[in-house]
A = this chain, B = another copy of it.
Amino acid sequence: MEPLYIVKVGGNIIDDAEKLRSFLKAFSSIQGKKILVHGGGKLATKLASSLSIPQQMIDGRRVTDAETLKIVTMVYAGWINKDIVAKLNAMGCISMGISGADAQTILAHKRKNADIDYGFVGDIDQVNTQALLALLEQGINIVVAPITQDASGQLLNTNADTIAQEIAKAMSNHFTTSLIYSFEKRGVMKDVSDEHSVIQQMDAALFKSMKEDQSIFAGMIPKLDNAFAAIDAGVSKVIIGDALELPDLIKGKSGTTIS
A residues near B (Cβ < 8 Å) are: 50-51, 70, 73-79, 81-83, 85-87, 89-91, 94-99, 101-104, 130-131, 134-135, 137-138, 140, 147, 149, 151-155
Contacts and interface: CB of A to CB of B under 8 A. Distances in A.
A154 B86 contact: yes
The 3 A-B pairs at the shortest CB distance, nearest first, are namely A78-B78, A90-B153, A74-B74
A101 B79 contact: no
Nearest to A98: B96
Contacts of A86: 101, 149, 153-155
Q: Count this chain's copies in the assembly.
A: 2
Contact of A102 (B70, B97, B153): B97
B77 A82 contact: yes
Contacts of A130: 138, 140
B131 A135 contact: yes
A140 B90 CA distance: 26
A73 B82 contact: yes
Contact of A82 (B79, B87, B147): B147
